[in-house]
Amino acid sequence: MRKLWISALLTIAVLNMIDAFLTLHLLGLNKGLKEINPLMQFALENNIFLQVKLLSSLLICLFYSKVKSLLVKMATVMALLLYSTLTVYHILLLRIL
């Protein structure tokens, strides 16, 4: 069971990085797209976007390794679902634009 959770965390980290690069690519197309997350918009404006994305992945993994409650497991599954959905959304946007 532990291997499953480690795989889920690694998948979240990979999807997070895919999200970062697709976000930067889509914003670079100059099609009027904007980052809707205020924290990420601030990171973009201050050229720390990739650092913030990487740090968020590391914090998720660190938090999971220290706190092993049902709530953290549920949050891990939610993050996996959300990042998967976001990746599909980015890919669809690339196809449209």
Report which secondary-structure segment, H or E, holds 62: helix 49-66
Q: Please report the pLDDT score of residue 62 as a whole number.
A: 80
Q: Please report the pLDDT score of residue 59 as a whole number.
A: 85
Q: Would you say residue 6 has pLDDT above 90?
A: no
What predicted TM-score, i.e. pTM, was given to this entire model?
0.83
pLDDT in tens, 16-54: 999 999 999 999 988 888 899 999 999 999 999 999 999
CA dist 9 → 4, 17, 36, 68, 69 (Å): 9, 13, 24, 13, 15
* Closest CA relative to residue 21, chosen from 96, 86, 95: 86
Q: Please report the pLDDT score of residue 32 as a whole number.
A: 86
